[in-house]
Amino acid sequence: MELTKIAGIFEKGKGSFYTRGWVKRKRELKNKMFILLRDETDELQCVLDKDKADKKLVDVVEKATIESSIELKGSLRKDERAPNGFELDIEDLKIVGLADTFPIGRDLSEEFLLDVRHLWIRSSKISNALKVRATVFEAFREFMKENNFTETSGPMFVSGSVEGGSTLFKVPYFDKTVYLTQSSQFYLEVMMYSLGNCYTIAPSFRAEKSRTPRHLTEFWHAEAEMPWAGLEDIIDLEERMLKYMVEKVVTDREKELVRLGRDPKTLEPSINKKFHRMTYEEAVKEISKKFSYVKSGFDLGEKEEREFTKDLDRPIILTHYPTSLKPFYHRADPKDPMHVLCNDILAPEGYGEIIGSGERCWNTEELIERIKKDKLPLEPYQWYIDLRKYGSVPHAGFGMGLERFTSWLCKAQTIRDVVPIPRTITRTYP
């Protein structure tokens, strides 16, 4: 019978408890030996009185090194001083897998911790963030289901760029060169004609030479496409979705957020208040007060977005970016063709862009003209152009970097802390 969720404790017979896990910490105080046991649920303080215990048991407890996997039997006591109010008096301990000297201690560089990420992943910092990330995925799927979107998936090997050629990873593919996809958007636009509202959660790859706290070369992308919809429809969907997702994480992962140093109360404005909104041009005016080099047509980067959003208490929606800054698929505003009907959503507290979105160019001639203007070959996009020839409809969609979003919720110092095994420009190991 499972008695409590603390470190997977089970009651075995009257008053006798059984548990198992890994040795997180060990210390000795006078005649007492303490083991802090951890598993995926929690931590449990276990104690052995050396003077009273059997010599053989004392030897085994002494032998159990940090990160050894152990099985324990004992009696459970309430103890206010223990980390979660309980302590286990050890009656028996078996070492299942004796650990070598664990290479991770205090005050190590991020580079070293990334080298040993396969071991560092066991830390409470990473495991709490990964639990929040799992709830982020769950919340996205839940919201999409409730809003009648069907899940689907596109290919990862593709023949053309979505977000511009400079960030494509080339892959040898038999006698050809293909690329790893930067976004599944174009395939969602295909599937929309078959499924209607549709979405995917898939990896996207960017050969971006940016070593910032918010860039990965491989990230998980939640993308959706909606037929018969324009810019305002997609903005409305995104705002409702983000509110839903933040609320679910705050409700289901309060403990993890607190452990990560995020006060869940600080996320309430993102649930209860309408998001801020302004056009790109209005934002540029604001940002130029701090950075004089920022003028209309400037491609806002990590630094500018960080400064712009650092004091906000909830996300901000920026609309109508210059046509010159955005890829060809964005529909130009018929009233102002110098700007596109697009929006980005920036997270508060300096985290910056979490969503890229907008209305798609759905007219054949306009699309061909835009592809040519971007100096791209038409051939790889023939199928994409075809979609406009056979019953095209106005449509809109978005892409959200799930780690960017998780990073903000967890108040992470870097996006690398919220992905299990991060991939960056310098890292493909472990």
Residues that bind ligand 4AD (CB under 6 A): 162-163, 183, 185, 206, 208, 215-216, 219, 221, 223, 353-357, 397-401, 403-404
Measured from the CB atom, is 315 or 397 closer to ligand 4AD? 397
Q: Which residue, 22 or 321, has its beta carbon nearer to ligand 4AD?
A: 321
Q: Which of 430, 419, 356, 426 is nearest to 214 (CA)?
A: 419
CA torsion through residues 222, 223, 228, 229, sign: positive
Minimal distance in Å, beta carbon 206 to ligand 4AD? 4
Q: How far is the CB of 24 from ligand 4AD (least distance, A)?
A: 31
Judged by beta carbon, residue 87 or residue 163, the one nearer ligand 4AD is 163
CB of 235 to ligand 4AD, least distance (A): 13
Instruction: Find the helix packing angle between 402-410 and 124-146, rounded to 10°.
Output: 120
* Nearest residue (CB) to ligand 4AD, 284 versus 419: 419
Do residues 70 and 8 lie in contact, with contact meaning Cβ atoms separated by under 8 Å? no
Between 403 and 417, CB nearer to ligand 4AD: 403
Strands 69-78 and 43-49: unpaired
Helix 280-288 with 302-309: angle, nearest 10 deg: 90
Least CB distance from residue 318 to ligand 4AD, whole Å? 11
Q: How far is the CB of 309 from ligand 4AD (least distance, A)?
A: 13
Q: How far is CA 8 from CA 53, 172, 271, in A?
A: 24, 47, 33
Q: Work out how close the CB of 218 gets to ligand 4AD at its nearest, in angstroms, rounded to a whole number.
A: 8
User: In whole angstroms, how close is the CB of 214 to ligand 4AD at the nearest point?
Assistant: 6
- CA dihedral defined by 342, 169, 413, 293, rounded to 10 degrees? -50
**7 or 355, CB closer to ligand 4AD?**
355
On whether the CB atoms of residues 24 and 37 are closer than 8 A, the answer is yes
How many residues make up the chain in this entry? 430
State how far the alpha carbon of 92 is from the alpha carbons of 56, 184, 274, in Å.
10, 54, 57
Nearer to ligand 4AD, 206 or 388 (CB): 206
Q: How far is the CB of 391 from ligand 4AD (least distance, A)?
A: 21
Spatial distance between the Cα atoms of 386 and 190, rounded to a whole number of angstroms: 10
Closest to ligand 4AD by CB, 66 or 195: 195
- For residue 7, give the amino acid letter: A
Q: Determine the residue type at 36.
A: L
Pairing outcome for strands 86-97 and 276-279: unpaired
CB contact burial 141-159 (16+ within 10 A = b; e otherwise): eebbeeeebeebebeeebe
Shortest Å distance, C-beta 245 to ligand 4AD: 13
Choose between 208 and 369: whose C-beta lies nearer to ligand 4AD: 208
